[in-house]
Amino acid sequence: MRKKVIIGNWKMNNDKKETADLLLSLLKETWKKEINVKVSPSFVNLENAEKILKNSPIEVVAQNMHYENEGAYTGEISYKMLKSININSVIIGHSERRTIFSENDDIIKRKIVTALNNKMHVIFCFGESSENRNENKHYEIISEQLDVVMHSLTKNQWNQIILAYEPVWAIGTGVNATPEQAQEIHKYVRNKIAIAYNKNLANSVPIIYGGSLKPNNSKEIFSKPDIDGGLVGGASLSFKDFYSIIKSID
List contacts with ligand PEP (CB under 6 A). 9, 166, 171-172, 210-213, 231-235
128 in active site: no
Catalytic residue (one of 66, 94, 138, 186): 94
Catalytic residue (one of 59, 128, 166, 186): 166
Taking the least distance from each CB to ligand PEP, the nearer of 149 and 167 is 167
Q: One-letter amino acid identity for 13?
A: N
Beta-bridge mates of residue 121: 89
The Cα–Cα gap between 179 and 145 comes to 22
- Return the H-helix or E-strand segment holding 17: helix 16-27
Taking the least distance from each CB to ligand PEP, the nearer of 8 and 87 is 8
Taking the least distance from each CB to ligand PEP, the nearer of 197 and 234 is 234
Taking the least distance from each CB to ligand PEP, the nearer of 90 and 202 is 90
Produce one character per residue of 22-37: b if its CB has 16 or more CB atoms within 10 Å, e if not.
bbeebeeeebeeebbb
Closest CA to 100 of 45, 41, 168, 163: 168
Tell me how far, at minimum, the Cβ of 63 lies from ligand PEP, in Å: 10
The Cα–Cα gap between 121 and 159 comes to 8
Tell me how far, at minimum, the Cβ of 165 lies from ligand PEP, in Å: 10
Tell me how far, at minimum, the Cβ of 230 lies from ligand PEP, in Å: 8
Residue nearest to ligand PEP (CB): 233
Do 4 and 229 touch, CB atoms closer than 8 A?
yes
Do 92 and 62 touch, CB atoms closer than 8 A?
no
166 in active site: yes
Taking the least distance from each CB to ligand PEP, the nearer of 13 and 86 is 13
Tell me how far, at minimum, the Cβ of 208 lies from ligand PEP, in Å: 10
Taking the least distance from each CB to ligand PEP, the nearer of 40 and 160 is 40
Tell me how far, at minimum, the Cβ of 102 lies from ligand PEP, in Å: 17
Closest CA to 99 of 173, 207, 164, 171: 171
Tell me how far, at minimum, the Cβ of 42 lies from ligand PEP, in Å: 13
Q: In what order do the strands lie in the sheet with 89-92?
A: 59-60, 35-40, 4-9, 229-232, 207-210, 161-165, 121-126, 89-92
Q: In angstroms, what CA-CA distances link 237 with 21, 165, 174, 183? A: 11, 20, 15, 26
Catalytic residues: 94, 166
